[in-house]
Amino acid sequence: MVNPGPHDKHALIFEVVREVPYGKVATYGQIALLAGLPGHARLAGYAMFNLPEDLADSVPWHRVINSQGRVSYSESRRGNDHRQRELLEQEGVEFDSRGRIDLARFGWKPE
């Protein structure tokens, strides 16, 4: 269990993100589904936005991207989107010329 707190659904989401393996990526919708919250992709995104600082090491937040295979951009992220891409490239995840990841190659496919 991770940081129960007032947001149990967030905790459920973080638990699933923890399972995304090195060098692979998962979509927000996929994370929500595996957390038992089908259709709550937005909640997954909201949870990631509010990821507690102290969980950044144990939860591979950078491996979560949107269904288009892109790192989600938002003004409010203030550069964290660029950091996310760096971390993924460090793991061998490739981006095409338009900043997209081939989900067929790098998408996480849990057993």
Which stretch, 21-29, 86-94, 103-111, contacts DNA (CB under 7 A)? 21-29
Calculate the CA dihedral of residues 93, 17, 34, 111 and round it to 10 degrees. Answer: 50
45 touches DNA (CB under 7 A): yes
CB distance 88 to 74 below 8 Å: no
Judged by beta carbon, residue 23 or residue 42, the one nearer DNA is 42
Shortest CA distance to 59 belongs to which of 36, 31, 39?
A: 31
Judged by beta carbon, residue 56 or residue 92, the one nearer DNA is 56
Q: 53, 54, 75, 111: which one contacts DNA (CB under 7 A)? A: 75
- Report, in Å, the least distance between residue 75 CB and DNA: 6
Residues pairing with 103 in the sheet = none
* Interatomic CA distance for residues 39 and 74, integer angstroms: 21
Q: 80, 87, 95, 107: which one contacts DNA (CB under 7 A)? A: 80
